[in-house]
């Protein structure tokens, strides 16, 4: 019975940097949300619907962040996602509008585009060994430019273009709890949209993939030590490429959720969304150097971002650039924290 | 054949080829329009000001050229790029205008409305640039964070901070004294003079001090440089600081050009142009040896591409597509697997020739 | 194939550009033996291992493995693993961020019916495996939570579980402490019982005699011989590794060189150390003296020098330079005190590859002057030309990138870099490695000349003969500690005995 005792000792001592980062994130979210509840109790911040609205508006971001987590696990980064979403929305709007496609065809088109886009970026990173940042930065400008090629107008997706999509986007799934009585004395139940359902499905699938499949574990292995992964017989190049394909594909799913939320398309849509996704991952405990992180942490990262925007919105007086700045400060804090942990770990050796 | 191969190895080969290509497109375009083929080079004085497409390119390309100076140093020393330059430019511009106009003031029409003299604003912008450079430099050099990740923070935050400083307004300073930095001195566009001055100062510094040697040494072999007595961290730090300063100067020019601080649009996508300029100039994005002249030529080449596209009727929102394609092409050519493939291919070809000869 | 032989290599030849790395080398490994592969640096040990594991493509000869018909030609480490040859390197090739079990089974995890990883089965199998090998770990924990020794053992366990017949351990003990080494040895003996053939590469003589059954010695890419451990005592092993065929060059010491007396202290180190590389040591070097550092590779020779120079941080003890106590935080501090270090790894720490010979030569001098006092171009050229001529550096021009020069000429250029700074104390770490005999003598003469000019020199070399020729005194290192000094008449035999240790001098 020597081994179990040993194991227990190990476990208690294993609250290491990564777990600590994640704990900080969760505590931060709770504090932020509680702070919001206290400060804006008079502005309905305590209602369940407020929280669900955060989820509703972040549905697209959750999908994108799941993909981003996969890429960052390999030690890479993908800053093309914001532009890709703009392109997706544009294709959806134009597809169902001027081009006269059905909603389903437009959506398939968007998903195929995501895969193709990811294949190219992944090829450049995995097989040509170009720095991910450069590749995806080019991808970012390319996608944004292509959006402008399609149209530079402000388009909206209306009931005329596709009744089915319109209904889908506005469908409310009511929850059986958490309602409140409105002024007329009627019980109003909180609701979510299909976007939230899709994003949570994506989240669960990616969580399982990362934990229970060879591909998922390969992502961790490649990020942990690329050379070792190759020595142990993993196909590093292919794994990396697939990570980018997955990221762009999930980004396209996110694009559809995003479109359902905004029902519009324009060239400047979702600018800076890559930033939100990256900061969500980093805040959620994904290491920029790769190998550590999971989508649950990233979810909390998204929620923190969402809560910040929600608080700023509810306040109503704060400038619209505050969420951006706060996110950047948080990102900076976590990046520095990560690097300090890394330096400390090095020193211990 | 041999001379051709030698030529392609020259560092300035790539930018010069690009320049020639752009010129060719321009000439064909002019010819097709019925104007003279050398219309491109036609410089004339109109309303006492220098005019012409070449002057226009030199003028408009000043910001990119200034940024390219800083970017070249950063790329050389740290093997990474500073992607925050565009945003920092915007922040510096906003800070400058905010200082001059006073917080919350959206429009200044004459000099007596100034909250502070213009000089304070200009110095403020430069200080802000240096400050941003210090921030990036500390993260990269002393905390060992990958350059692109470290600069990502300001990339997203700087523009937002700028907006905040301007109280979410576009601050207009419609005063000639302010407009001069983006306008004309005599008949020459000021941005050209400023860019030339920056290039001159930096080349002088590189020529008269050992900075160039230090930066390249650190970029090529950090460990060996340390053993030889160089402080690698400090050198990388200084490069980021200078890059920030360059962004500050570029910010002043950009803001003076439109006599306002438009946080959302100043320096937009400029980081791509600056990186592209460095790559086009024949400098490896992997760091090490650099050629400032190459980067400057690269910068103006990019502006020439942009202007040409504009003349061809391509909208400004679409031009990034072409730039993105060019970036990928250039970087792909430099990529190790591609290089190895070419080497193998040419070796195989040579071997075949040898066999044929025997 | 004899029944108890698991691996034979016959007549292996391999050339790198300009060097014959392996020349007709034979190697035989039997079932259930621990076989030490010994040789000095560049003797061809790692090349041979790389041939066995498919990283290098050998030109002639054949390798046969028990259980495979005909010669084996491995194209990759995966091929090698398939025929039962596994390698564990000094740098553990595992992923620290994955659990122990995953590191054992990645790429071949037990799967469920839904094509997902059966984590429970994986943990169970992993637990059984580590228990069988007597490693006490929790397989669900991340690998990074365990010490390097345990990680090393997990790497071995992975190899064992992949059904390996031949286990190659390439310097596995370099970064382990004594207790950890003992644990590793227990495991090796354990595997030996189970019939695995183990190839053990190490620089530590003690360890060879602690676990090995047989020794194969290589020198300069050729086979010296294969001996049962009992037939090759320590001293013989050292001389077999180093060779006895010394080049009889004339005595290069000029008249009166030996009669000089040294009284002015230049360097006085007291209890300096750097954790993990060199244990606390004392060392005195006086003005005009050439002190040699001898010991096998990995005994801490370079590390000692690096601590004095400040390339690695001194963590304990003090240093006096010319009688004054000093604090050195980084190399430039040492340089300002008149030191210079010619590092042993020319490529990684010496040359700045893309820069010209001129720039490489003036670099240290420029660093000493500071960034703003650029040496004028004409002066730079003069200095460069001076050293190119003085050291007879063969280069197309002073503007040729240094990476295009041959190794010896690169080395001379770096030497020129330090001479240009006019140091009082110069550390030369393997200045003659990979250099032809003529040049070696030149460098030796130069060392003597510098000493006569009153400069102090710390000289590190793997070639004893060349140290005997130049040094006034020698310090001996073994296993990361300074174990003694040799004074007076220096002879080959005395030095070798000191290096080998164990037996009394």
Read off the pLDDT of residues C70-105 as tens digits, 9 standing for 90 and up: 788 888 777 888 888 888 887 778 898 899 999 999
Please name the residues in contact with A130: beta carbons below 8 A apart, sequence gap of 6 or more. A124, B328, B331, B332, B335
* Residue C395: domain span: 361-422
Hunting for tokens 């050293």 — which residue is that?
A: C387
Q: Which of C198, C224, C242 is the last residue of a domain?
A: C242
Instruction: Report A:194-213 residues touching C (Cβ under 8 A).
Output: 208, 212-213
Quick one: tokens of C177?
């402490």
Q: Which of the pair, C5 or C503, is modelled with greater confidence?
A: C5
User: What CA–CA distance (Å, rounded) separates C306 from C302?
Assistant: 6
Q: Between the CA of residue A202 and those of A67, A70, A195, A196, C134, what are the distances in Å?
A: 9, 12, 10, 10, 42
Mean pLDDT to the nearest integer, B76-97: 93
Per residue in B311-355, pLDDT (tens digit) is: 888 888 888 888 888 888 888 887 888 888 888 888 777 777 777
- Residue C125 inside a domain? The answer is no
Q: Is the pLDDT of residue A10 over 60?
A: no
B244 band by pLDDT with thresholds 50, 70 and 90: very high
Q: Which long-range contacts (CB under 8 A, 24 or more apart) does B313-316 make?
A: B315/A148, B315/A152
Per residue in A262-275, pLDDT (tens digit) is: 899 998 888 888 88
- Residue C59 inside a domain? The answer is yes
Q: Is the pLDDT of residue C298 over 60?
A: yes
Chain A closest-CA separation from residue C390 CA (Å): 44
User: Which residues partner with C428 through β-bridges?
Assistant: C342, C459
Q: Is the pLDDT of residue B242 over 70?
A: yes
Instruction: Report CB contact under 8 Å: B168, A129.
Output: no
Give yes or no for A133 touching B (CB within 8 A): yes
Which residue out of A233, A346, A349 would a mutagenesis test of the C interface target, given it has the greatest number of C Cβ atoms within 10 Å?
A233
Give yes or no for B328 touching A (CB within 8 A): yes
Q: Which of the pair, C43 or C141, is modelled with greater confidence?
A: C141
Question: Which of C117-121, C155-159, C393-397, C488-492 shows the lowest per-residue confidence on average (mean pLDDT)?
Answer: C488-492
Neighbours of C, requiring at least 3 CB pairs below 8 Å, are A, B
Q: Which of the pair, A345 or C450, is modelled with greater confidence?
A: C450
Q: Which of C65-79, C125-139, C485-499 has the highest mean pLDDT?
A: C125-139
Report strand pairing: C5-16 vs C425-429.
Answer: unpaired
> Which value, in Å, is the radius of gyration of the alpha carbons in chain B?
22
How many domains would you assign to chain A? 1
Residue B8: the pLDDT is 59
A12 band by pLDDT with thresholds 50, 70 and 90: very low
- Residue A107 inside a domain? The answer is yes
- Residue C294 inside a domain? The answer is yes
> What is the value of pTM for the model shown?
0.83
Instruction: Report A:266-295 residues touching B (Cβ under 8 A).
Output: 267, 272, 275, 278-279, 288-289
CATH of the domain at C274: 3.40.50.300
Question: DSSP for C431-498?
Answer: TTTT--HHHHHHHHHHHHHHHHTT-EEEEE-S-HHHHHHH-SEEEEEETTEEEEEE-SS--HHHHHHH
Residue C38: the pLDDT is 87
Hunting for tokens 């080398």 — which residue is that?
A: C25
How many domains would you assign to chain C? 3
Nearest chain A alpha carbon to C119: A212
Q: Are residues C256 and C277 in the same domain?
A: yes
- Residue A208 inside a domain? The answer is yes
Q: Are residues C206 and C235 in the same domain?
A: yes
Q: Are residues C401 and C450 in the same domain?
A: no
Could you tell me which of C450, C494, C433, C444 has the C-alpha nearest to residue C470?
C444
Give yes or no for B135 touching C (CB within 8 A): no
B94 band by pLDDT with thresholds 50, 70 and 90: very high
Q: Is the pLDDT of residue C184 over 50?
A: yes
Q: Is the pLDDT of residue A18 over 80?
A: no
Q: How many CA atoms lie within 13 A of C10 on its CB side?
A: 8
Give yes or no for B208 touching C (CB within 8 A): yes
Spatial contact of C252 and C442, defined as CB atoms under 8 Å apart: no
Q: Are residues C437 and C480 in the same domain?
A: yes
Q: Output the average pLDDT for chain B.
A: 87
Instruction: Report CB contact under 8 Å: C94, A220.
Output: no
- Report the sign of the C-alpha dihedral through residues B219, B222, B227, B233, in that order: positive
Residues of chain A in contact with residue C97, where contact means CB-CB under 8 angstroms, are 220, 223-224, 291-292
Neighbours of A, requiring at least 3 CB pairs below 8 Å, are B, C
Residues of chain A in contact with residue B268, where contact means CB-CB under 8 angstroms, are none
Closest CB to B157: pick one of A148, A324, A342.
A324
Mean pLDDT to the nearest integer, B122-127: 95
Question: DSSP for A264-301?
Answer: EE-TTTTTTHHHHHHHHHHHTT--TTSS---HHHHHHH
Hunting for tokens 């995953």 — which residue is that?
A: C102
Hunting for tokens 């006895």 — which residue is that?
A: C244
Quick one: tokens of B310?
């504009």
Q: Is the pLDDT of residue B239 over 90?
A: yes
Q: Are residues C411 and C430 in the same domain?
A: no
Instruction: Report CB contact under 8 Å: B321, A137.
Output: no
Write down all domains in chain B, each with its CATH number in brackets: 21-30+48-346 (1.10.3470)
Q: Which of C242, C257, C291 is the last residue of a domain?
A: C242
User: What CA–CA distance (Å, rounded) separates C371 from C352?
Assistant: 18
Neighbours of B, requiring at least 3 CB pairs below 8 Å, are A, C
- Residue A287 inside a domain? The answer is yes
The neighbour count for residue B345, using CB atoms within 10 Å, is: 10
User: What CA–CA distance (Å, rounded) separates C296 from C500?
Assistant: 9
- Residue C136 inside a domain? The answer is no
Could you tell me which of C476, C442, C470 has the C-alpha nearest to residue C456?
C470
Could you tell me which of A275, A261, A256 has the C-alpha nearest to residue A90?
A256
Give yes or no for C351 touching B (CB within 8 A): yes
User: What CA–CA distance (Å, rounded) separates A52 from A42?
Assistant: 18
User: What CA–CA distance (Å, rounded) separates C500 from A30?
Assistant: 65
Instruction: Report CB contact under 8 Å: A6, C77.
Output: no
Nearest chain C alpha carbon to A217: C106
- Residue A290 inside a domain? The answer is yes
- Residue A347 inside a domain? The answer is no
Which residue out of C104, C105, C138 would a mutagenesis test of the A interface target, given it has the greatest number of A Cβ atoms within 10 Å?
C138
Give yes or no for B320 touching A (CB within 8 A): yes
- Residue A154 inside a domain? The answer is yes
Chain A closest-CA separation from residue B211 CA (Å): 27
Per residue in A154-200, pLDDT (tens digit) is: 988 888 878 888 888 888 888 887 777 777 778 888 888 899 999 99
Give yes or no for A342 touching B (CB within 8 A): yes
Q: Are residues C399 and C429 in the same domain?
A: no
Report strand pairing: C214-219 vs C222-228.
Answer: antiparallel
Chain C closest-CA separation from residue B214 CA (Å): 8
User: What CA–CA distance (Å, rounded) separates C481 from C208?
Assistant: 18
- Report the sign of the C-alpha dihedral through residues B267, B270, B274, B275, in that order: positive
Chain C closest-CA separation from residue B184 CA (Å): 35
Residue C504: the pLDDT is 40
Q: Are residues C71 and C180 in the same domain?
A: yes
Q: Are residues C230 and C308 in the same domain?
A: no
* Residue A220: domain span: 16-338
Q: Which of A77-91, A173-187, C313-327, C489-503 has the highest mean pLDDT?
A: A77-91
- Residue A1 inside a domain? The answer is no
Mean pLDDT to the nearest integer, A281-302: 89
Residue B3: the pLDDT is 60
Residue C245: the pLDDT is 46
CATH of the domain at A41: 1.10.3470
Q: Which of C176, C207, C242 is the last residue of a domain?
A: C242
Chain centroid offset of residue A107 CA: 19
- Residue A307 inside a domain? The answer is yes
Which residue out of A277, A318, A321 would a mutagenesis test of the B interface target, given it has the greatest number of B Cβ atoms within 10 Å?
A321
Q: Are residues C410 and C496 in the same domain?
A: no
Residue A348: the pLDDT is 61
User: What CA–CA distance (Å, rounded) separates A19 from B17?
Assistant: 53
Mean pLDDT to the nearest integer, B129-157: 92
- Residue C131 inside a domain? The answer is no
């Amino acid at each position: 019975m020597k081994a179990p005792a040993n194991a227990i000792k190990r476990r208690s001592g294993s609250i290491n940097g990564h777990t600590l980062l994640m704990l900080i994130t969760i505590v931060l979210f709770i504090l932020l949300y509680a702070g919001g509840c206290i400060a804006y109790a008079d502005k309905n911040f305590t209602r369940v619907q407020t929280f669900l609205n955060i989820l509703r508006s972040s549905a697209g971001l959750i999908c994108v962040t799941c993909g981003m987590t996969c890429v960052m696990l390999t030690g890479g980064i993908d800053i093309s996602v914001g532009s890709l979403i703009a392109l997706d929305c544009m294709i959806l709007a134009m597809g169902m509008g001027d081009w006269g496609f059905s909603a389903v065809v437009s959506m398939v088109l968007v998903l195929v585009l995501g895969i193709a886009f990811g294949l190219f970026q992944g090829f450049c990173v995995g097989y040509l060994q170009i720095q991910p940042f450069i590749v995806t930065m080019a991808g970012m400008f390319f996608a944004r430019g292509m959006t402008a090629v399609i149209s530079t107008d402000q388009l909206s997706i209306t009931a005329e273009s596709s009744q089915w999509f319109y209904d889908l986007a506005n469908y409310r799934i009511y929850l059986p709890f958490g309602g409140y009585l409105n002024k007329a004395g009627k019980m109003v139940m909180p609701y979510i949209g299909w976007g939230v359902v899709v994003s949570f499905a994506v989240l669960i699938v990616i969580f399982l993939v990362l934990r229970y499949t060879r591909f998922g574990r390969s992502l961790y292995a490649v990020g942990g030590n690329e050379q070792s992964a190759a020595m142990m017989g993993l196909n590093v190049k292919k794994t990396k490429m697939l990570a980018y394909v997955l990221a762009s594909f999930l980004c396209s799913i996110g694009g559809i959720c995003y479109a359902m939320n905004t029902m519009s398309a324009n060239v400047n849509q979702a600018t800076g969304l890559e930033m939100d996704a990256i900061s969500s991952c980093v805040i959620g405990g994904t290491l920029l150097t790769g190998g550590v992180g999971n989508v649950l942490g990233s979810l909390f990262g998204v929620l923190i971002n969402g809560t910040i925007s929600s608080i700023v919105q509810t306040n109503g007086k704060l400038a619209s650039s505050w969420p951006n700045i706060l996110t950047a400060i948080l990102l900076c804090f976590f990046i520095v924290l990560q690097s300090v942990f890394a330096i400390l770990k090095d020193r211990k050796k | 054949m041999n001379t051709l191969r030698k030529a392609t190895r020259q560092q300035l080969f790539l930018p010069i080829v690009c320049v020639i290509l752009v010129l060719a497109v321009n000439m064909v375009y002019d010819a097709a329009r019925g104007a003279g083929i050398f219309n491109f080079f036609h410089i004339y004085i109109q309303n006492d000001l220098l005019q012409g497409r070449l002057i226009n390119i030199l003028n408009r390309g000043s910001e990119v050229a200034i940024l390219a100076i800083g970017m070249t140093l950063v790329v050389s020393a740290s093997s990474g790029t500073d992607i925050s330059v565009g945003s920092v430019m915007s922040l510096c511009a906003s800070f400058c205008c905010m200082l001059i106009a006073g917080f919350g003031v959206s429009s200044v029409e004459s000099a007596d409305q100034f909250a502070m003299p213009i000089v304070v604003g200009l110095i403020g912008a430069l200080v802000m640039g240096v400050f941003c450079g210090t921030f990036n430099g500390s993260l990269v050099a002393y905390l060992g964070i990958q350059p692109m990740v470290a600069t990502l923070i300001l990339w997203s935050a700087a523009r937002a901070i700028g907006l905040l400083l301007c109280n979410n307004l576009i601050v207009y300073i419609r005063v000639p004294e302010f407009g001069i930095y983006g306008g004309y001195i005599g008949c020459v566009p000021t941005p050209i003079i400023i860019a030339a001055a920056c290039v001159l100062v930096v080349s002088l510094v590189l020529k008269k001090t050992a900075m160039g040697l230090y930066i390249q040494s650190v970029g090529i072999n950090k460990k060996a440089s340390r053993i030889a007595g160089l402080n690698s961290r400090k050198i990388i730090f200084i490069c980021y600081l200078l890059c920030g300063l360059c962004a500050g100067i570029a910010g002043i020019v950009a803001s003076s050009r439109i006599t306002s601080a438009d946080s959302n649009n100043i320096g937009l996508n400029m980081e791509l142009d600056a990186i592209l300029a460095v790559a086009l100039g024949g400098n490896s994005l992997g760091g090490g040896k650099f050629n400032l002249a190459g980067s400057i030529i690269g910068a103006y080449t990019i502006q020439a591409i942009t202007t040409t596209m504009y003349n061809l009727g391509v909208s400004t929102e679409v031009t990034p597509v072409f730039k993105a394609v060019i970036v990928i092409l250039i970087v792909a050519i430099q990529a190790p697997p591609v290089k190895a493939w070419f080497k193998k291919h040419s070796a195989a070809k040579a071997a075949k020739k040898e066999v044929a000869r025997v | 194939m004899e029944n108890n032989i698991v691996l034979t290599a016959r007549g292996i030849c391999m050339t790198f550009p300009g060097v014959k790395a392996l020349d007709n080398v034979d190697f035989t490994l039997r079932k259930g033996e621990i076989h030490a592969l010994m040789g000095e640096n560049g003797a061809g040990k790692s090349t041979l291992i790389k041939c066995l594991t498919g990283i290098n493509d050998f030109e002639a000869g054949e390798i046969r493995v028990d259980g495979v018909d005909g010669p084996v030609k491995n194209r990759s480490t995966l091929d090698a693993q398939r025929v039962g040859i596994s390698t564990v390197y000094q740098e553990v090739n595992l992923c620290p961020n994955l659990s122990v079990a995953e590191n054992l089974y990645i790429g071949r995890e037990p799967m469920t019916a839904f094509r997902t990883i059966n984590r429970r089965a994986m943990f169970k199998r992993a637990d059984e495996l580590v228990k069988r090998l007597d490693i006490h770990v929790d397989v669900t924990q991340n690998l990074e939570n365990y010490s390097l020794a345990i990680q090393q053992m997990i790497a071995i366990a992975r190899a064992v579980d992949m059904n390996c017949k031949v286990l190659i351990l390439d310097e596995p003990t370099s970064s382990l402490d004594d207790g950890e080494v003992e644990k590793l040895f227990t495991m090796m003996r354990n595997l030996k019982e189970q019939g695995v053939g183990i190839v053990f590469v190490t620089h530590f003589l003690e360890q060879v005699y602690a676990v090995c059954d047989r020794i194969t010695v290589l020198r300069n890419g050729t086979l010296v011989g294969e001996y049962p451990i009992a037939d090759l005592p320590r001293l013989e092993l050292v001389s077999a590794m180093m060779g006895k065929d010394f080049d009889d060059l004339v005595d290069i010491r000029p008249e009166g060189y030996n009669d000089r007396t040294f009284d002015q202290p230049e360097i006085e180190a007291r209890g300096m150390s750097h954790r993990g590389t060199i244990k606390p040591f004392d060392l005195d070097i006086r003005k005009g003296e050439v002190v040699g550092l001898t010991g096998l590779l990995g005994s801490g020779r370079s590390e000692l020098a690096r601590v004095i120079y400040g390339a690695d941080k001194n963590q304990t003890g003090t240093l006096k330079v010319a009688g004054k106590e000093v604090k050195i935080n980084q190399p430039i501090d040492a340089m300002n005190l008149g030191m210079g270090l010619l590092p042993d790894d020319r490529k990684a720490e010496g040359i700045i590859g893309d820069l010209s010979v001129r720039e490489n030569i003036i670099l240290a001098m420029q660093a000493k002057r500071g960034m703003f006092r650029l040496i004028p171009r004409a002066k730079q050229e003069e200095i460069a030309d001076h050293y190119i001529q003085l050291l007879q550096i063969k280069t197309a021009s002073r503007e040729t990138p240094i990476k295009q020069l041959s190794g010896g000429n690169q080395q001379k250029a770096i030497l020129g870099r330090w001479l240009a700074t006019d140091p009082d104390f110069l550390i030369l770490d393997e200045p003659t490695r990979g250099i032809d005999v003529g040049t070696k003598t030149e460098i030796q003469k130069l060392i003597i000349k510098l000493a006569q000019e009153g400069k102090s020199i710390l000289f590190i070399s793997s070639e004893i003969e060349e140290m005997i020729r130049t040094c006034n005194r020698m310090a001996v290192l073994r296993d990361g500690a300074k174990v003694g000094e040799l004074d007076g008449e220096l002879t080959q035999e005395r030095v070798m005995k000191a290096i080998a240790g164990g037996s009394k001098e």
